[in-house]
Structure formats: C-alpha cells, structure tokens
Structure 1
Amino acid sequence: MRHSFVVFLLLSALTGTTARAQSTPRKAELAKPLPAAAPKPLIKDELYQTVARLDTEMFAAFNAHDADKLMSYFADNVEFYHDKGGLSNFAQTKEGFARLFAQSPDISRTLVPGTLEVFPVKDYGAMHIATQRFCHIENGRQDCGNSKFVMVWQQQAGTWRITRVVSYDH
C-alpha cells in the first residue's frame, strides 16, 4: 500500500469522511480541464534550454564520477531531500555521491526523454522537474530504475546553482 493512500485514509478518518479506493478515475474526472491559473512548462524557450544544458553538464560529471565537478552545480546551502535517505546538506550530499561512486563504479544516469519540465521562479531562478534513470550492474546483470526529482536553481550574477533537491519515487 503506497504511503499517500495511507495518508489519505488517515485524513479521511480524522475528518469523518468515508474513503473509497478507486482503481481508475471516472471519465468525468479525466475530462476536467486544468485550472486556468495552472502554470505551463516553458518548452523550447531560453530558460528551458539553459536548464536542459545544466542538466546535461551536471550529469556528465555524475556519469564521469567526478564528485567535485558535480558538486560545483550545488549551492553551499543546498538542501537535498531524498525519500529513502532523508535530508542532507552540501557536505553530506558530496559524501553520499563519493560513497555511491565507490560502491557502484559503473552507475550512470540518463534523463528520461520527454519528461523535462522547466518553470520560472520569479526573482530567483527556475524549477527543474523530470524523471531520471539510473543503471548499474548488480549480480552480473544490468539493474535500472527510474525516479522523479525537482531541483530549484538560483541564478545570481549569471551563475546557476541548485539550492533545493527533492528526489523521490525510488
């Protein structure tokens, strides 16, 4: 049972409403339009291209297992939230990458095509949302898995750094 469903049941119990599990949304629910104020991802504009380039560069460093280069994309005050590993700061994140590279010397990451979304953050930078795929050899076989992430990039004086990461659905 997924955690969100358990939370839903708990909230339903606390508010006195009855929870009913549905395996698929009703057609009427699927036909509902998104609220007019819902932000739309910026496709193929300058901000999108900048973040796409940063993603490519940063994960080239990841795939090269260059922890120092990889960490140059993170702000000193980064907060990295991982659904399995918890919260880590800059030093803990760097240690985690170094440990990962040592334990899985063949690990690689790719961006799942078509999943990149970029949203501006007024007077700050951008949100970078996508699905990524990590692969490595385990017990003599290729082992791959997808996870989702949100990165918040801050732009200061033309330099982009990640200040927040939320990595989930592992």
Structure 2
Amino acid sequence: MKLLLLPLLIIPLYAHAQCPTKAIDREDVFKKIAAIDSCFFATAYSCDAKNNRHLFTDDLEFYHDVTGVTHSAEEFMDIVNKNFCETTRKTGLKRLVKAGSMSVFPLYNNGTVYGAVQYGEHYFYEVYSDSEKRVGLAKFTHVWVIENGSWKISRILSYDHQPSD
C-alpha cells in the first residue's frame, strides 16, 4: 500500500517542476523586481545609466507630473543621463524606496506570468562629499513585462512630487 502512495506524492512535485512560470508566486516576483529596480538606480546615479538600456522596452512611456511625457526608451535614457550625470551638477543624486511602501503584483495570461505592476513611494536626496540631504518624495508606478525572457519596464508613472518632510 505504501508503494502505491509514493507515486501520488511524487507526481505533484514533478508536475510543479515542469511548469515554473505558472508556479511563480508574488514574493518571487517582488524580489526580482526589487533587485532590478535597485540596480538600475544605483547605476543611474553613478552615471552608468546607458548600460541599463536593456531594462526598458523600446516603446517605453514615462509620465511625469512635473516634466511631462517621454515616448521612447532612448529619450528616457537621454533624460536620465542629463539629470544624473550633468558635469555642472554641484551635488550627486540618490533615490531610495520609502520603507514598506513598495508592492508588486504579478500579471498573468492564462496562468502564466507575463509581467507585473510595481508601485510605491520614493525619497530623493542630494548627495554632497560629506553628507546628504533628503529633498523630495514622490509616488511611482512601473508596469513590467517579460520580453524574450527578461524583465523590462514598459510604462512609468512618476507623480505627486513634493518637498520632503
């Protein structure tokens, strides 16, 4: 009898291993998106943003409540490089997600993850040689898609910009 039950215990494990995209849970997607998000901003602020072009779909749309709309990844990368790497800047910049504010929700098509919605709040800092100053707070929403096996941002909403408290 025990030998008859053994296949019944193993089959679900085998079936699970055959369908990894259907078994992706919200926490796995959260960790992956958070890691990519953090990596992008770390390299953008070190003036290495051009090496992150692969993180965005060609048809990226970026909606900003202060500076307007951007209609392509190339245009967005130009803005990032200008804002973060301008040689006349007297300060560096830093962005940190407000603790506990970020959420990520997987998007499914017939049980298969094809993307995610990420939203939260982030702080912006001016960085000096010996200190930093928090200067702003804003909300963000990113729509991520899986394109050729890689996670990419296709839409960005950056809104409710305000001075930091």
Aligned partner of 1:86 in structure 2 is 68
Kept after mapping to 2: 8 A contact 1:62/1:108: no
Alignment of 1:110 with 2:96, yes or no, is yes
Which structure's CA Rg is the greater one? 2
Aligned partner of 1:159 in structure 2 is 150
| Equivalence map 1:1-170=2 (5 Å) | 45-89=27-71, 90-101=73-84, 102=86, 104=89, 105-123=91-109, 124-136=114-126, 142-170=133-161
Q: Distance between the aligned counterparts of 1:113 and 1:141, measured in 2? A: 18
- Aligned AA for 2:82? R
How many percent of aligned residue pairs carry the same amino acid? 29
Q: Distance between the aligned counterparts of 2:121 and 2:30, measured in 1? A: 16
* Deviation for aligned residue 1:137: 5.3
Aligned partner of 1:4 in structure 2 is none
* Deviation for aligned residue 1:115: 0.8
After TM superposition, the runs of 4+ consecutive aligned structure 1 residues lying more than 4 A away are none
Kept after mapping to 2: 8 A contact 1:133/1:144: yes
Q: Distance between the aligned counterparts of 1:60 and 1:141, measured in 2? A: 16
Q: Distance between the aligned counterparts of 1:49 and 1:141, measured in 2? A: 27
**Coordinate RMSD, CA, aligned:** 2.4
Over residues 49-97 of structure 1, what are the superposed CA-to-partner deviations in whole Å (9 max), with x where a residue is unaligned?
1111111211111221212023331111100000111110222211211
* Deviation for aligned residue 1:141: 7.9
Over residues 118-168 of structure 1, what are the superposed CA-to-partner deviations in whole Å (9 max), with x where a residue is unaligned?
011223300110111111159x98352111100001012320110000000
Q: Distance between the aligned counterparts of 2:96 and 2:52, measured in 1? A: 15
Instruction: Name the structure where strand makes up a greater proportion of residues.
Output: 2
Q: Bigger CA drift: 146-155 or 84-93?
A: 84-93
Is there any run of 5+ residues in structure 2 with no aligned partner, and where? 1-24
* Deviation for aligned residue 1:114: 0.6
Q: Distance between the aligned counterparts of 1:92 and 1:122, measured in 2? A: 29
Q: Distance between the aligned counterparts of 1:128 and 1:144, measured in 2? A: 23
